[in-house]
Amino acid sequence: MSTTATAASEEKSPRFRINIGAILMEGRALVALLLIIVIFASMNDNYLAAGNLATIAKDVAFNAIIALGMLLVILKGGIDLSVGSTVGLTGAVAGNLFAGVSLPLTDAVMYPSLWVIVVIAVAVGMLVGWINGLLISRLNLAPFIVTLGMLYVGRGLTQVLLGGTNITNELRGEPGLNNEGLFSIFASYPLGVPISAWVMIALAVIFSLLLTRTPFGRWLYATGSNERAAELSGVPVRRVKTRVYVFTGMCAGIVGILQIANIRSATADLGNLYELNAIAAVVIGGAALSGGRGTVRGTIIGAFVIGFLTNGLVIVGVSPFWQTVITGAVIILAVATDQIQQIVQRRRAHARAVAQAQKDSARRGSLESKETS
């Protein structure tokens, strides 16, 4: 039998190891984060100044929003390399819409209003994700390949749309065209906190509800760990697989808008390498690349680790080349710590069990001698 009542009562309510494990795992990322903060704060007084914190918050938010989408894909056991390009593409689409669309067959130029632009940009991101998703779930293509291809396609289209220049002035909009306000809304600081951070918080709440409190979330975890069993349990596996890419696309679209508002320009290299930072955040947050394991909380902490680290390295004046080296090393270290911690934990549990067994056999021995006497 499993837990005999005696076993439970003898060892004073040891809680499940998985829970402790999960807490420690996120704890590890948290410890890393605190360490980073303490080290850089002691090296440079400006590190924790309000101005710098706002900068960090913005960077963290951009990465975290993308990472949330990436988390879903990774939970499914997939990967999305195209998100960075999609950020660029949606930025370029939005930029072009601000510049006005000349309608075919007429001389008229149409200027969509601000919110229409926002919706279209996000929709373009979702469309890209949907195409990824369909190719992956219907044609059974490898996510790595499909999204790698899409990385090129997206970046290429961005360059086509921008035609070698950046769109900058047009982003401001013009009075009377109803397309003003990009900066005043999407680069604002409600309550002193950058709007992107608010968006990150809102999305984190939504995604964590999605993952833990909806059937979709359960289906996603199930599909990520055993697709066949999930399918036979009635999980709409293909729909789940398609949808996660739509979510990453959506996140990329949101970041596209936030970024052009932030840097006040739609550029061809916008969002470059975002996919890698996002993957790093998800992994530092304790997710398994093979699918089925990972949390929103971990991912957000992961994004904070990367954000605080990158900014800290800049602020203490580490050369950009070394910054890259150190960032890479920290990622590896974080994931390695995870493994080491698990090993240590297992050893400790084993030692505890051995002690218990010895106590048992001692007791058994005394019982036996009583019986025989």
Partner 1 sequence: MSEERTDHQELSPTQNHDGADVVLRAVGISKTYGVTRALKGVNFEVRAGEVTVLFGENGAGKSTLMKILSGVETPTAGHLELDGEQVTLASTSAAVDRGISIIHQELNLNPNLKVRDNIFLGREKNSWRGIDYAEQSRITAEVMERLEEPISPDTYVQDLRVGQQQIIEIARALSTDARILIMDEPTSALSTAEVTVLFKIIRELKRQGVAIVYISHHLEEAIEIADRAVVFRDGELVAAEDAADIDLLWVVRTMVGRDADYDFREEPREHGGVALSIRDVSVADPISGKFPVDHVSLDVHQGEIVCLYGLMGAGRTELMEALAGRDQLAGGQVLLGEKDLRGTGVARRIELGVGLVPEDRQRDGLIQMQSVGKNLSLASLSSWVGGGLLRRGAETRAVSGQISGIGVKTAGPEAPISSLSGGNAQKVVIGKMLLTDPTVLLLDEPTRGVDVGAKGEIFSLLFQQAQKGLAVLFATSDVGEALTASHRIVVMSRGRTVRSFDPRTATREEVMAAAEDSTGASPGAPEALSTTGSTNGAQG
Ligand X SMILES: Nc1ncnc2c1ncn2[C@@H]1O[C@H](COP(=O)(O)OP(=O)(O)OP(=O)(O)O)[C@@H](O)[C@H]1O
- Candidates 12, 10, 39, 59; CA nearest to 310 is 59
| 31/354 with CB nearer ligand X | 354
Q: How far is the CB of 1 from partner 1 (least distance, A)?
A: 5
Q: Are 327 and 306 in contact (CB under 8 A)?
A: yes
CB closest to ligand X, residue no: 2
Place of tokens 């019982």: 367
- Candidates 188, 205, 305, 307; CA nearest to 257 is 188
Q: Are 154 and 259 in contact (CB under 8 A)?
A: no
Interaction partner, residue 190 (partner 1, ligand X, none; CB < 5-8 Å by kind)? none
Binding string to ligand X for residues 1 to 30, with x set by CB under 6 A, is what?
xx----------------------------
Could you list the beta-strand ranges (E) of the chain. Answer: 101-102, 109-110
Interaction partner, residue 165 (ligand X, partner 1, none; CB < 5-8 Å by kind)? none
User: Which residues would be at the binding site for partner 1 (CB under 8 A)?
Assistant: 1-4, 7-8, 11, 14, 16-19, 209, 213-215, 218-219, 221-222, 225-226, 228-236, 292-293, 349-350, 353-354, 356-358, 360-361, 364, 371-372
Rounded CA separation 253/275 (Å)? 13
Q: Are 55 and 310 in contact (CB under 8 A)?
A: no
| 18/139 with CB nearer partner 1 | 18
| 27/292 with CB nearer partner 1 | 292
Rounded CA separation 22/17 (Å)? 8
Place of tokens 């890209």: 128
| 172/293 with CB nearer ligand X | 293
Q: How far is the CB of 236 from partner 1 (least distance, A)?
A: 5
Span 263-292, contacts to ligand X by CB under 6 A: none
| 264/293 with CB nearer partner 1 | 293
Angle at 282 between CA 279 and CA 284, to 5 degrees: 105
- Which residues of the chain form contacts with ligand X (CB under 6 A)? 1-2
